[in-house]
Structure 1
Amino acid sequence: MDGARALIAAGATAVCCLVCAFWAFRTSSSSSPSFSKKQQSPSLNCSGCASCGCCAAKSANGEMAVGGDNKKKAQESAPPEGGGASMMEQLVPEITTHALSYLDYTSLCRLSMTNSAMRRAANDDGAWKALYHKDFTVEQGTINPPNGWKAYYAATKAIMNLNAEFYNIIREGSLPAMSRFWLNADYVKCIHATGEFFTGYNAVMESWGLLFNWGQDGGQGIAFQIRDVRVRVLGEVAWVNLKANVDVDPVLFHVTNVYEFRNGRWYMVHHHSSLMADPVPHNMFG
């Protein structure tokens, strides 16, 4: 067992060295005139973007689509036979996945923009599964994303950012922003920590208007702090569970937020906040 771990560690070190060497090779090549001329070719579909965000955003399942011209350019820029790319392909998959597990989200995306061999390695489902488990908490251990772990990671990250935006709106006390954040439907529901229940878009917006005006003088927002955020995405529905407290107040609230994907974006459809009960010491005598 120790020998296998040593082999994996050695392989991971070798892969990291190869990646560094490959980046150094690309950096030196980019300074040549011929390379600059290729970079200015209008046949590229990424509009000169250095990160993978613009390309990845055009694909619904999180995978990058590469046309015939781009494939040729990737093959032309690949190292010769026996170089870093071919060695990457010859490595044991477990070693490759272990090495890629040290990369963060941005680095893994950039690696997928280098050449075909690196793209296949960076898009490996096992690498994205390891990154997901490292960055997020999985509620169900048996989850099997239908579109792969890369797409599920992107969806989870989008919901995390959206949920953070919700609490930024509360801190700012912006009713116009809150009105755009919710889905305009009669079935949306909001239960505030006071226990008041509101249903329907208009009633929910009125409740937020009252809360913002009551929270601070001048209609300012409330400084919520959030923790223990848990996200679950299932098709066009996502829900978030978390704990929240107001500013430095130690009193905690259990919060559930539900989102629906409509018309190309996510909207909030349900918010439920309730006071967390204090644990009561058990009385062994009843």
Structure 2
Amino acid sequence: MDILSSLSNNGDTPIFLALIVTILCCFFSLFFRLLKYPQSDKTNPCNCASSDSSMAVTATARLMNGGGGGGGQVPVVERERERERQHVIGASMMEQLVPEITTHALSYLDYPSLCRLSMTNSSMRRAANDDNAWKALYHKDFTMEQDSITPANGWKAYYAATRAIVNINQHFFDIIRERSLPEMGRLWLNADYVKCIHASGEFFTGYSGVLSSWQLALNWEPAVNFQVRDVRSRVLPGVAWVTMKAYVGMEHNTHPMSMTNVFELHNGEWFMVHHHSSVMLADGEVADQPPMLG
């Protein structure tokens, strides 16, 4: 009290109060700092070293794999490798086969199955559109005689064209069996150069003459069911021909005949332009009078 009284009597009271307030502020500041950060003065040198070491190892691994630094992003090479790995894992068995094995496996499919396979997914479309697969299918369904040719538009297009010719050639025999003159008229090209030589040896030329010969044969000859064997076809741009052996009835030794049909492509449709039929004779055999049909 005496000190305060003496100070109050002096002019130094404001200075003393400011000093007391400053000391108290420093004390409370230090006290709250210790309460808030009790571990601040305890350092762990291992944490920094371990963090720096981990970062160094990661950076080294990225550089060794061709990647860049920083950013925490996966390097481009690593992403590509991962994408390829996932592609291999998700790839179908067909994609992982050797091409020769794939072609051999697809050769067991028929024409509709191979077409349906090409519509499943992209990998199957590539396999089903392979030219070697269609070449193998062609030789299985048709003939080995054309092994040396190289179709201009590939074996798939050549197979489709040959299939169309074989089907229309079969339609020719269906018309004879059904004895339908209107269908026969639609099959032949309406041109003056078309020709028809029947098994009887009679020769007809021009659309009207050919149709008249078929009208006579279909009206007067009994219904004939041909068994067709050894069909061979050749397709060129705009023209195709088919050779075959035809037998009347189920027995192959009854009136065997050799036949040739020639077709032309007009406005996307095949028409018959030539038919030639002759009786097959064994050595020394004399032909009986054959039927006109054929």
Same-fold call, TM > 0.5?
Answer: yes
Q: Say if 2:273 is the partner of 1:269.
A: yes
- Separation in structure 2 between the aligned mates of residue 115 and residue 215 of structure 1, nearest angstrom: 53
* 1:138, distance to aligned residue in structure 2 (A): 3.1
Q: 1:81-100 to 2 correspondence within 5 Å?
A: 81-83=87-89, 85=91, 88-100=94-106
CA RMSD in angstroms, aligned pairs only: 1.7
- Separation in structure 1 between the aligned mates of residue 93 and residue 249 of structure 2, nearest angstrom: 53
* 1:88, distance to aligned residue in structure 2 (A): 3.6
* 1:97, distance to aligned residue in structure 2 (A): 1.3
- Separation in structure 1 between the aligned mates of residue 160 and residue 128 of structure 2, nearest angstrom: 14
Tell me if the contact between 1:100 and 1:122 (Cα under 8 Å) persists in the aligned partners: yes
Change (3 A) 1:81 1:192: same
Change (3 A) 1:83 1:155: farther
Please give the TM-score of this superposition, normalised by the length of structure 2: 0.64
Of residues 261, 264, 267, the one that matches 1:260 is 264
Q: Say if 2:195 is the partner of 1:193.
A: no
Which ranges in structure 1 are unaligned for 5 or more consecutive residues? 1-79, 282-286
Tell me if the contact between 1:257 and 1:270 (Cα under 8 Å) persists in the aligned partners: yes
- 2:212: which partner in 1? 206
- Separation in structure 2 between the aligned mates of residue 84 and residue 96 of structure 1, nearest angstrom: 18
Of residues 96, 102, 107, the one that matches 2:108 is 102
Tell me if the contact between 1:139 and 1:232 (Cα under 8 Å) persists in the aligned partners: no
- 1:245: which partner in 2? 247
2:87 match: secondary structure: coil
2:120 match: secondary structure: coil
- 1:145: which partner in 2? 151
- 2:164: which partner in 1? 158
1:213 match: secondary structure: helix
- Separation in structure 1 between the aligned mates of residue 90 and residue 160 of structure 2, nearest angstrom: 29
1:227 is aligned with what amino acid? R
- 2:125: which partner in 1? 119
* Greater length-normalized contact order (CA 8 Å, ≥ 6 residues apart): 1
Which ranges in structure 2 are unaligned for 5 or more consecutive residues? 1-85, 286-294
Q: Deviations over 1:88-139 (max 9, x none)?
A: 4343211221222222212211111111111111100011111111111133
Change (3 A) 1:198 1:116: same
Q: 1:6-45 to 2 correspondence within 5 Å?
A: none
Calculate percent identity across the aligned residue pairs.
Answer: 68
Q: Deviations over 1:75-100 (max 9, x none)?
A: xxxxx733553654343211221222
Please give the TM-score of this superposition, normalised by the length of structure 1: 0.66
- Separation in structure 1 between the aligned mates of residue 159 and residue 147 of structure 2, nearest angstrom: 15
Tell me if the contact between 1:112 and 1:123 (Cα under 8 Å) persists in the aligned partners: yes
Aligned length in residues? 198
1:151 is aligned with what amino acid? A
- 1:5: which partner in 2? none
Of residues 228, 231, 234, the one that matches 2:233 is 231
